[in-house]
Structure 1
Amino acid sequence: MSDPRDSMTLPRLTEEGQADSAVARALDAAADMDGFGTDVAATLDWAVMVGATRPLDHSAIDDWSLLASVAGRDVAAARILEPHLDALDILGQARREGCEAALESIGAGTGSSWGVFAAEGPGLRLEAHRDRDGWRLSGTKPWCSLAQQLTHALVTAWDGDERRLFAVALRTPEVDAHAGPWHARGLVPVVSAPVDFTSAAAVPVGEAGWYLRRPGFARGGIGVAACWWGGAVALRGALLDAARRPGADQLSRVHLARVDTALWNARLALRSAAEAIDADPDPALLAGRVRAVVAAAVETTLAESARALGPLPLVADEPHARRVADLQIYLRQHHGERDLARIGTSLSEGRGAW
């Protein structure tokens, strides 16, 4: 299988020849690591370093290129990096809007590793209440990735009838991160399990409802899609190798072409969104469209690579097998028909003209 860093397979959202020092630094540091993407502690340390060395004025295309390139090297590493960078961006946006959180009160600093826990689950509810000492969180939050390894997280909790974002320290007696259930065959080290909060001290980030209304919410959602795309580009490399082998027939080139055109289309969607996101009047609809395009391209890639390559790389090529399993789990963050229904609702209500 081709090295994902090879010029033919490196996920590239920018044009050939454009210097991207942040991507180069991140991949160079990763190349010197043992257990990149599998050793969570080491990969988190790397993610903190990447977040600390990003340019302050990074653009959407800078962020998405970085995430795609990391996913091209290792999908799990991108899954670890993405929420950390998202949290830093959220905190930065709050600071620019005059809502800087008092992070020092929960022991957060430049060496903190961050997650973003915003999922909801049936029968589970995390409540925020205020006492004389400040804000407290009580209840259970589902789908909290790496909660046992992270130092801090941004967490949505219910403040009355609205969800509000809070920063919280995770390594305290008031926070109990579950070890499972987690029987995943993909993203094995990225355990996503419930966390119980018992009157845990928290710091508000923005006002009630701000997290979901902020312009950066859509940008973060597309960042996840950039990870999906970057991981799939490495599978394109495997198909390219197969089509170049002596004796390769036309079918191998058909599979390659289907994947290539799907991923090329997704790349165009990501590039177009990077140019439009900050000025788009309906960024949520833009994000929904881009995620749908990218998700479809990755589904095509997974299906075509399975048909073209057969079972051998799934059982004999550990990096390939892990990449496929990781992408299959990661892609489930796309809600499929539910997300398409939201797009259709927007269109039926007269929004989203081309």
Structure 2
Amino acid sequence: MDRTVPRPVRFGPDTAADAGLAALLGDIASAVGDVPALLGIARAAGTDAPQPGQGSTAGLWEFLASVAAVDVAAARIFEPHFDALAILAQSGKDTGHVAGVWGVFAAEGPGTRLEAKAGDAGILLDGSKPWCSLAPLLDRAVITAHAEGGGRAAFAVDLRHPGVTCEEPAWVARGLREIPSGTVHFRQVPAEPVGGENWYFSRPGFAWGGMGVAACWLGGAVGAARDYKDSLAAGAEAGRDPDQIALAALGETDRILTAALRYLARVAALIDGEAGAGAGDMPDAGRSAWSEALRVRGTVAAAVERVLSLVTRNRGPAPLAFDEPYAKRMADLALYVRQHHGMRDDAQLGKLTLKEEYPW
């Protein structure tokens, strides 16, 4: 097998190979580190990308995982653009004529507040929004702001408007170095409503998007596992057969990733079945989309943490110091998976479990 050719990540052995995806992954691999080029690829790919809940959720997540397996930072470009298109479609907008590259900015932070107020000129945004990844390079974004009714609402915003100012972020992270996230300031910026007040967080698609991010984390772990397997194979070819410890680590990595991939496949099928039924809950055991999202994100985050530990402990310091693609992957993934809120998310899930939202 040619280890230099990017391979798609598959959730199961019955998934057919996609020559178009393989070619696209090759283009992404050639553009690693070139953010404008990756943005252009994402824009083109988004025109016919599958959307969650429309019958091809597994295909979407496999695509995101495949991109992350090539380069985690590339997945941080593709995922929000695809998510923005899905959000617009879920709100009833026709995405066939959506232009440019989009982001999704919904984070909140101390000392920042973005408000939406209606006036004679329509809805205008005023204030600041933190954690706006790549904002200076994007065309538009779906952005949440505090509405006059006391809740939060989503809006489509032109990031090229003169009232938008992007701070130069003090991004010192070694991971995701080409994807800095800074604060953006808005002064009387026109905004188009996307859904109503509180719609953004209450729709099933919010949970689906969170699971799409988990698919990216898992794809990054698959890339790390492939690095490890290939290093053992290269050593064996050079006459250095792996010992029992190295093989045990590879075996544990295999079962962890296989279990997580199969889990995502099952949840994707449930989402598509539920969306087809037209309701807001998962079809089995009365589970909500958000409780399933917490399970998926927590399960995948734990799998990623364990794979990172197994791979780095067994490969040692040399590739972290001298193998740039490997070192980049590990730093990018370690930072990206920190988007999971750990025990706080488990506490949320515990509350839902007490409300009888569990499959066991």
Q: Give the TM-score, by structure 1 length.
A: 0.90
Task: Please name the residue that 2:254 is paired with.
Answer: 260
Q: Distance in 2 between matches of 1:259 and 1:14?
A: 16
Q: Distance in 1 between matches of 2:207 and 2:222?
A: 23
| 1:5 positional shift | 4.2
Task: Please name the residue that 1:11 is paired with.
Answer: 9
Q: Distance in 2 between matches of 1:309 and 1:268?
A: 27
Q: Distance in 2 between matches of 1:3 and 1:148?
A: 35
For 2:74, which of 64, 77, 81 is the aligned residue?
A: 77
1:320-341 Cα offsets, whole Å, 9 max, x none, are 0000000011101111111111
CA contact (8 A) 1:282 1:352 kept: no
Task: Please name the residue that 2:63 is paired with.
Answer: 66
CA contact (8 A) 2:65 2:217 kept: yes
| 1:110 positional shift | 3.8
1:303-333 Cα offsets, whole Å, 9 max, x none, are 1111100001101110000000000111011
CA contact (8 A) 2:28 2:74 kept: no
| 1:171 positional shift | 1.2
Q: Distance in 1 between matches of 2:14 and 2:27?
A: 22
Relative distance call for 1:22 and 1:61 in structure 2 (3 A) is farther
Mapping 1:189-200, distance limit 5 Å: 189-200=178-189
Q: Distance in 1 between matches of 2:58 and 2:42?
A: 19
Any stretches of 5+ residues in structure 1 without a counterpart? none
Task: Please name the residue that 1:300 is paired with.
Answer: 306
| 1:247 positional shift | 3.1
For 1:310, which of 310, 316, 320 is the aligned residue?
A: 316
Counterpart of 1:3 in 2: which secondary structure?
coil
CA contact (8 A) 1:135 1:201 kept: yes
Task: Please name the residue that 1:178 is paired with.
Answer: 167
State whether structure 2 residue 245 is matched by structure 1 residue 251: yes
| 1:349 positional shift | 2.3
Residue 287 of structure 1 aligns with an amino acid whose one-letter code is A
For 1:126, which of 114, 122, 136 is the aligned residue?
A: 114
For 2:42, which of 47, 64, 72 is the aligned residue?
A: 47
| 1:61 positional shift | 0.5
CA contact (8 A) 2:50 2:57 kept: no
Q: Distance in 2 between matches of 1:284 and 1:156?
A: 19
Task: Please name the residue that 1:86 is paired with.
Answer: 83
Q: Distance in 2 between matches of 1:17 and 1:144?
A: 35
| 1:4 positional shift | 6.8
Residue 145 of structure 2 aligns with an amino acid whose one-letter code is A
Task: Please name the residue that 1:207 is paired with.
Answer: 196
The RMSD of aligned alpha carbons is 2.1
Task: Please name the residue that 1:144 is paired with.
Answer: 132
Residue 57 of structure 2 aligns with an amino acid whose one-letter code is A
| 1:199 positional shift | 1.2
Any stretches of 5+ residues in structure 2 without a counterpart? 275-281
Q: Distance in 2 between matches of 1:80 and 1:58?
A: 24
| 1:302 positional shift | 0.7
CA contact (8 A) 1:22 1:66 kept: no
Relative distance call for 1:17 and 1:286 in structure 2 (3 A) is closer
| 1:14 positional shift | 4.2
Counterpart of 2:91 in 1: which secondary structure?
helix
Task: Please name the residue that 2:278 is paired with.
Answer: none
CA contact (8 A) 1:119 1:143 kept: yes
CA contact (8 A) 1:137 1:200 kept: yes
1:180-206 Cα offsets, whole Å, 9 max, x none, are 021110100111111111111110001
Moved more, 47-56 or 10-19: 10-19
% identical aligned pairs = 44
Q: Distance in 2 between matches of 1:345 and 1:195?
A: 34
CA contact (8 A) 2:100 2:139 kept: yes
| 1:25 positional shift | 4.8
Residue 212 of structure 1 aligns with an amino acid whose one-letter code is F
| 1:58 positional shift | 5.8
Residue 296 of structure 1 aligns with an amino acid whose one-letter code is A
State whether structure 2 residue 327 is matched by structure 1 residue 330: no
CA contact (8 A) 1:263 1:297 kept: yes
For 2:271, which of 265, 273, 277 is the aligned residue?
A: 277
Q: Which runs of 4+ in 1 moved over 6 A?
A: none
Q: Distance in 2 between matches of 1:336 and 1:289?
A: 11
Q: Distance in 1 between matches of 2:257 and 2:4?
A: 15
Task: Please name the residue that 2:225 is paired with.
Answer: 236
CA contact (8 A) 1:242 1:248 kept: no
Mapping 1:107-122, distance limit 5 Å: 110-122=98-110
